[in-house]
Every structure is written in structure tokens, then in C-alpha cells.
């Protein structure tokens, strides 16, 4: 059994065999689902990629099959499942990252617009206070007002930042349960 990654050369070939041409863009699953449709799943006849025959009830017919072959098939199926799950995770993360990037761009635009609003409101307050007092004193009052707002925002942000836990507790908990789930009962 040879794969394009095994490095095996065909019998009688001189030098190294050319690897099979891969189209990596088409190797990735579609974004809708990486799992096979029900039409592509065999319902009777064989089980798995190794061709284990099935009984009339749809269970694998393992009479005459060695334990090594069965373990090999289970290992291959588990490996395939893990690769498919990894691909699914990649596709989902990529789609969510794209949405997050678009949302972040919108937040950035909203932040800039808010900054411009505050800038012009500050100018308006400065000019309004200028009618009552000296222009320099009015500008100083507006600057002090923004200093107080900035200090309060800093204190609240620092308090919230100290509450952040960088360790993903739930993920660590579920990963600790995986070895127990793989042990036979």
C-alpha cells in the first residue's frame, strides 16, 4: 500500500517516483459541510475503507478477519475522523474570523465617527464658554473635562482587565475527560 507521502517508488523504477499531482485548493471541503451526504454512505455490503463485508443487519462481518486488520481499520477510521474534525474546525474558524474582521472594521469606523463627533462637540463647548470667559480658560476647562473622563475610563478598564482569566477553563476540563472516554468500560 503506497501513498503520495510514503516516499515509496514503483518496482523497477530508477530514482524517485514523481508524487501524485495534488490540487490543494480542491482538497479542502466545501464550507457547508465536510461530512458525506447520506447518498454517499454505503448502507450494505462493505464497512470502512478496507472493505470489511457486512451482515444483513448492517454490522461488520468479522469472521476470518484478524484482530490486527480490525485494529488497523479502527485506527484508520479514527485518524480520518480526527482529520475531518480538524478541517471542520479550520473552516468554521475561518468563517468566524472573517465575520469578526468585518465587525471589527465596522466598530473601527464607528469609533472614528464617534471621535469626530466628540472633537467637534468639544470645539463647540469651547466656543460657547468663550462667550462667558477668556478663550484660553475655556479651552483649559474643556481639556480638564476630557482628562476626568479619560481617568474614569482608564480606572474602569483596568478593573475589568484584572477580571480576565487567560486560561480556557472549560476547554481544559473537557480535554481532561478525553483519555477516560477512550478507555473501554
In the predicted model, is pLDDT for residue 102 greater than 50? Answer: yes
Q: What angle do CA 39, 5, 87 make, to 5 degrees?
A: 45
Note the pTM of the prediction, 2 decimals: 0.41
Residues 140 and 54 in one domain: no
Asked whether residue 14 is assigned to any structural domain, the reply reads no
Q: What value does the mean pLDDT of the chain take?
A: 74
Asked whether residue 164 is assigned to any structural domain, the reply reads yes
Neighbouring CB atoms inside 10 A of 111's CB total 10
Using alpha carbons, select from 80, 92, 78 the residue that is nearest to residue 33: 92
- Which contacts (CB < 8 Å, 24+ apart) does range 34-43 have? 34/84, 34/87, 34/88, 34/91, 35/84, 35/88
φ/ψ of residue 54, rounded to 5 = -115, 155
Domain boundary among 117, 150, 175: 117
Rounded to a whole number, what is the distance in angstroms from the first to the last CA of the chain? 34
Report residue 2's pLDDT band, with 50, 70 and 90 as the boundaries: very low
Query: Average pLDDT in the 102-127 region?
Result: 92
Domain hosting 177: range is: 133-185
Residues 93 and 139 in one domain: no
Weakest mean pLDDT among 36-40, 53-57, 122-126 = 36-40
Task: Compute the distance between CA of residue 46 and CA of residue 52 in angstroms, rounded to an integer.
Answer: 5
Residues 106 and 33 in one domain: yes
> What is the pLDDT at residue 185?
63
- The C-alpha cell that represents 98 in the structure block: 472573517
Residues 106 and 152 in one domain: no
> What is the pLDDT at residue 42?
46
Query: Average pLDDT in the 43-62 region?
Result: 63
Asked whether residue 4 is assigned to any structural domain, the reply reads no
Residues 139 and 168 in one domain: yes
> What is the pLDDT at residue 89?
84
Using alpha carbons, select from 86, 95, 75 the residue that is nearest to residue 34: 86
Residues 69 and 151 in one domain: no
Asked whether residue 9 is assigned to any structural domain, the reply reads no
Residues 27 and 102 in one domain: yes
Instruction: Tell me how many domains the chain contains.
Output: 2
Residues 89 and 158 in one domain: no
Asked whether residue 28 is assigned to any structural domain, the reply reads yes
Amino acid at each position: 500500500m503506497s501513498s503520495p507521502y510514503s516516499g515509496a517508488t514503483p518496482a523497477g523504477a530508477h530514482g524517485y517516483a514523481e508524487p501524485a499531482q495534488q490540487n490543494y485548493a480542491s482538497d479542502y471541503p466545501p464550507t457547508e459541510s465536510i461530512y458525506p451526504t447520506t447518498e454517499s454512505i454505503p448502507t450494505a455490503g462493505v464497512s470502512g475503507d478496507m472493505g470489511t463485508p457486512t451482515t444483513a443487519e448492517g454490522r461488520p462481518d468479522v469472521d476470518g478477519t484478524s484482530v490486527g486488520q480490525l485494529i488497523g481499520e479502527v485506527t484508520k477510521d479514527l485518524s480520518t475522523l480526527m482529520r475531518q474534525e480538524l478541517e471542520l474546525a479550520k473552516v468554521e474558524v475561518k468563517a468566524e474570523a472573517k465575520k469578526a474582521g468585518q465587525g471589527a472594521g465596522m466598530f473601527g469606523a464607528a469609533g472614528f465617527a464617534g471621535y469626530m463627533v466628540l472633537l467637534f462637540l468639544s470645539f463647540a463647548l469651547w466656543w460657547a464658554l468663550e462667550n462667558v470667559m477668556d478663550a484660553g480658560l475655556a479651552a483649559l476647562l474643556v481639556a480638564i473635562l476630557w482628562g476626568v473622563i479619560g481617568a474614569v475610563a482608564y480606572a474602569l478598564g483596568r478593573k475589568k482587565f484584572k477580571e480576565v482569566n487567560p486560561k480556557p477553563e472549560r476547554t481544559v476540563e473537557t480535554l481532561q475527560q478525553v483519555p477516560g472516554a477512550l478507555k473501554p468500560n
